[in-house]
Every structure is written in C-alpha cells, then in structure tokens.
C-alpha cells in the first residue's frame, strides 16, 4: 500500500500526506471532496439535460393529441391544425361505406310477389340452387316470423340446416347474409360492434357494425346470422339490442357506439349513436346440447322461434332465380296480410279458455306480448299459405307450453293427460301435433 501511495505522490495527483497515511485516508481529504462535488455537478447537468429533452418531447406529443382532439373539445394550442390532422376518420370502414354509397349507380329493380308465392319460390330456390331442402311449413314459419319480430331463433340439433336456412334467405333476397360467429367469452355490446382504441385513436370496427351502417343507407333486406347464439349468454351481449327492438317507434332505436362526437364522423352517426336499420333481421341459431346455455324467457318472448328437428326429403324442382325484394315491399306484404286476415273470434275464445286453465293449474299465462304476437303471426301465416290452427300450434308449443319445462316434472306429468284432453277438446283431435308432442316429451323425460 505504501508503494502505491508513493507512486501517486510522485506523479502529483494528490498532495503529500503524513507518514503512515493510507489510500483510504485520501477519500476524506478536501481534494477528494472537491472531486465529489465536480462529479455531482456533472451528473446534475446530464440529468437536467435529459429532463429538458423529455419535457420538450412531451409538449410536442401534447400538441399532436390536441390537434386530433374530438370536435367540441378545447383545442386552443393546435386549433389551426385540427381540420388538417383529423382528415382521416376514426371510422375508416364506415367512411368508406359513405363514399361507396355516394357513388352508387342505379339500383337493380326489385321484384314483386305475394307471400305465398314468395314462400314457394324460396323453397325451390334453396333446393334447386343451393341443394338445401326444407319443408314448406318451415319456410312459412320463417317468413311469418319475419313479419312479427326482427329476432328469429332457429333451434335444433346440429346438422339440421339452421345456419343454411338463414344463409339461403339472404341469397334468395338478393343480398347475402352476414354470418357472425358468437364467441364463448362475449358478455357486452362492444363484443359485437367494436370499441374505440385510446392508443390508436381509431375505432375497431366489426363486420356487424359495418353491416348495420350499410343497411341504413339501402333499401334491401338484410339478414345477420348470430351463429351458435347460445354458446354465450345472449341476454348479456345482445341486451341493448333486445331493449331497442322493443321500442314501437323505430325512429328512436339509437344504438350507442361512442360517447363523443368528432367533426368528421360518418354521416349517419348522430352524437355517437347509430339508428338501428328497420330492414335488418337478426337470426340466431341455437344448438340443443350440453355445450350451450339455456336461452331465457326474456329472449324467447321477444323472438320468433322455429324448431328444425329433422331434415326434409330431397325433391326435384326447377332452378328459379332469386327474388330481389325491397324491405319496403316486404313490409307492405306483412301489413297487407294483417289487414286482410284476423284471428277469428272462435280462436280467441279457445285461447281464453286455455289461458284460464293454464293460469289456474300451472300458474302459466299468455301475457300481453304473446297475445300481440299471436294476433300478428296468424294473419301472416295465412297469407303465406298456412292455416290458423298451424299458426296457433307454433305459438303455443314454442311460447307457452315450453314454460312448463320450468315447473316440477312430476307435477306436469300428473296433469299432462288432462292438458292433452283439453287441447283436443278445444282445437280438435291431433290438430296441434307440435303442442301434443311437446307435452308428451316432458312427460317421457320425468
């Protein structure tokens, strides 16, 4: 150690120290303290420079953010740049739809036909063009269901043609259906229509949102298929749609998309809200197996429900062309049917007696919503070529008698024979095959 200190003294790096001093004694000398201060000042200068550079960059970023701020916010710093910097819409796909619609040429002429003819053509088109075979009764139920609700549930075992029926409808109406595969983790509206990304300042637009927006600018019939609708809980992710579709005034069915307004938002996005198009139907396909959730009464009561339990036998037919019918024309056919046909007074009396019996014995009632659906469904089914009894059987089996599944199985079984006898007495022997089979199935499963 003494040799090292001697060398340092020789070269004059530090002043001479007293005999016996060591290298460690140097760190307490005034010379060492001066070096400490010099190093500290150097470090302070470096850090201060880095902080100033960072603050400068943050100020520039803040100016860029303000220059892209939503319309209506304070943009004093970047006010002159606002128009130029927000030329790119946060809804890029919706903006493109606006542009395409503004350039659209003359539309293809729409076809005109009656509802019964429409059902026959649809069945033949599905078979001859697409190789899909359906019973005419199921086709009538589908078209009649469109006449009473914007939500249709096709349920049954896998492979019975549920998704294919909805797909065939879109092809037949001259406007391909949009298939939205439901995901098991879906729980809210944003899972269906997308969300605003705060990092990119862009809205993540989904196919469904684009179709909703496009439908509002056209007069075609639009069908959106919610494939495997009960693989997640539809009353969660579709809740806002269910509430809006209940509003009788279609001009007030505004769907929340974003919470603010930007100057260059799409034309039909009003205060961050999009009006649900009246020309779009939602068709949910539901499998009946252990991998899915049960659909609640809230959904069933609002939807037109169709059971597809078996495949139809293939048949030979010509290959007809699609029927490119407008929403306005189709809606007029539904209204025309409701004006021409009405639920008979005889059937009303039968339904009244059945309602009284179900209320007294099972504590199950029709309810005003279901009665309105019956009064709307029967006329459209008659116009499609069906009968009043067939229409009543559809509603009773899928809207009323299904509620018996929630009661005590043993109790339902004990009263099932009396209920079957009442149905035969009111509507005729075996005239309600679906309702009779539904009651017998509950009885067998006890």
242 alpha carbon, distance to own chain's centre: 10
Determine the Cα–Cα distance for residues 379 and 339; give it in Å rounded to an integer: 8
Determine the Cα–Cα distance for residues 280 and 291; give it in Å rounded to an integer: 29
Scan for tokens 């005999």, then name that residue: 19
300 alpha carbon, distance to own chain's centre: 16
Which positions ≥6 away from 138 have C-beta within 8 Å?
A: 165, 306, 308, 312
DSSP code of 362?
T
Sign of torsion over alpha carbons 171, 172, 177, 183: negative
For the record, the structure tokens of 446 come out as: 């006890």
CATH 3.30.360.10 for domain 91-325, yes or no, is: no
9 in Cβ contact with 30 (< 8 Å): no
Enumerate the domain spans of the chain: 2-67, 91-325, 341-446
Report which of 222, 216, 225, 215 is spatially closest to residue 173, judged by C-alpha positions.
222
Scan for tokens 């059902």, then name that residue: 119
pTM of the model: 0.79
Q: Could you list the pLDDT tens digit for every one of the 446 residues in the chain?
A: 455 445 444 444 445 555 555 545 555 666 667 776 777 777 777 787 776 776 656 554 544 444 344 433 333 333 333 333 445 789 999 999 999 988 876 667 788 889 999 999 999 999 988 899 999 999 999 999 999 999 999 998 888 889 999 999 999 999 999 999 999 999 998 999 999 999 999 999 999 999 999 999 999 999 999 999 999 999 999 999 999 999 999 999 999 999 888 988 999 999 999 999 999 999 999 987 777 888 988 899 999 999 998 778 888 887 778 899 999 999 999 999 999 999 999 999 999 999 999 999 999 988 888 999 999 999 999 999 999 999 999 999 999 998 998 888 899 999 999 999 999 999 998 899 999 999 998 888 75
Scan for tokens 């086709």, then name that residue: 139
> 3-17: b or e for each residue (b if 16 or more CB lie within 10 Å)?
eebeeeeeeeeeeee
């Amino acid at each position: 150690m003494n040799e090292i200190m001697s060398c340092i003294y020789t070269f004059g790096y530090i002043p001479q120290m007293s005999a016996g001093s060591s290298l460690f004694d140097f760190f307490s000398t005034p010379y060492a303290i001066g070096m400490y201060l010099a190093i500290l000042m150097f470090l302070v200068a470096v850090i201060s420079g880095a902080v100033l550079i960072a603050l400068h960059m943050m100020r520039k970023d803040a100016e860029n953010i303000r220059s892209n701020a939503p319309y209506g916010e304070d943009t004093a710093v970047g006010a002159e740049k606002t128009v130029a910097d927000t030329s790119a819409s946060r809804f890029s796909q919706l903006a493109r739809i606006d542009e395409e619609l503004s350039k659209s040429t003359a539309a293809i002429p729409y076809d005109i036909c009656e509802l019964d003819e429409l059902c026959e053509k649809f069945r033949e088109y599905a078979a001859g063009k697409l190789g899909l075979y359906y019973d005419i009764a199921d086709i009538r139920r589908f078209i009649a269901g469109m006449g009473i609700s914007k939500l249709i549930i096709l349920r049954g075992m896998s492979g019975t043609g549920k998704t294919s029926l909805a797909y065939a409808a879109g092809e037949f109406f001259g406007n391909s259906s949009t298939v939205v595969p439901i995901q098991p983790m879906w729980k809210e509206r944003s899972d269906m229509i997308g969300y605003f990304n705060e990092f990119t300042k862009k809205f993540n637009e989904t196919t469904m949102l684009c179709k909703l927006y496009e439908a509002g600018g056209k007069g075609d019939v639009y069908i959106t298929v919610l494939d495997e609708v009960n693989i997640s809980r539809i009353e969660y992710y579709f809740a806002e749609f269910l509430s809006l579709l209940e509003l009788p005034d279609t001009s007030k069915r505004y769907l929340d998309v974003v919470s603010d307004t930007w100057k260059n938002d799409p034309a039909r996005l009003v205060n961050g809200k999009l009006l649900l198009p009246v020309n779009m139907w939602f068709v949910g396909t539901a499998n009946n197996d252990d991998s899915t959730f049960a659909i609640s009464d809230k959904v069933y009561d609002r939807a037109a429900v169709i059971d597809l339990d078996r495949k139809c036998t293939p048949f030979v037919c010509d290959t007809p062309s699609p029927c490119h019918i407008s929403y306005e024309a189709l809606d007029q056919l539904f209204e025309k049917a409701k004006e021409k046909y009405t639920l008979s007074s005889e059937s009303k009396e039968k339904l009244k007696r059945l309602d009284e019996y179900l209320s007294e014995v099972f504590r199950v009632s029709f309810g005003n919503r279901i009665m309105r659906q019956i009064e709307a469904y029967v006329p459209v089914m008659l116009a499609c070529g069906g009968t009043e009894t067939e229409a009543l059987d559809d509603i009773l089996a899928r809207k009323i008698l299904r509620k018996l599944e929630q009661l005590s199985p043993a109790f339902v079984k004990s009263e099932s024979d009396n209920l079957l006898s009442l149905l035969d007495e009111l509507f005729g022997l075996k005239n309600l095959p679906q309702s009779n089979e539904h009651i017998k199935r509950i009885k067998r499963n006890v």
